Amino acid sequence: MPNFFYLKITSIIIKSLCGIFFLLLILWSAGLVWFADQTKDIKEDRHTQTDAIIVLTGGTGRLQTGLELLNAGLSKQLFVTGVAAGLEPKDVFDLSEFESVDFSCCITFGHNALNTAENASETAHWAKLNNINSFRIVTGSYHMPRSMLEFRRKMPESILVAHPVYPDHVKVDGWWFHRGTARLIMTEYAKSLLIILKNL
Ranges of each domain in the chain: 52-168
> In the prediction, which pLDDT does 46 show?
79
CB–CB of 75/51 below 8 Å? Answer: yes
> In the prediction, which pLDDT does 12 show?
78
- Interatomic CA distance for residues 196 and 148, integer angstroms: 12
Counting as low any pLDDT under 50, the low residues of the chain are none
> In the prediction, which pLDDT does 147 show?
95
> In the prediction, which pLDDT does 6 show?
67
> In the prediction, which pLDDT does 92 show?
73
The H or E element that residue 108 is part of is strand 107-110
> In the prediction, which pLDDT does 81 show?
94
- 30 sits in the region (left: phi over 0; alpha: psi -120 to 50; else beta) called alpha
Burial of 170 (0-12, 13-18, 19+ CB in 10 A): buried
| Phi and psi torsions of 138, nearest 5° | -110, 115
> In the prediction, which pLDDT does 18 show?
83
> In the prediction, which pLDDT does 79 show?
95
For the domain with range 52-168, which CATH number is right: 3.40.50.970, 3.40.50.261, 3.40.50.620, 3.40.50.300? Answer: 3.40.50.620
CB–CB of 164/189 below 8 Å? Answer: no
141-181: per-residue pLDDT in tens? 889 999 999 999 999 999 999 999 988 888 878 788 888 88
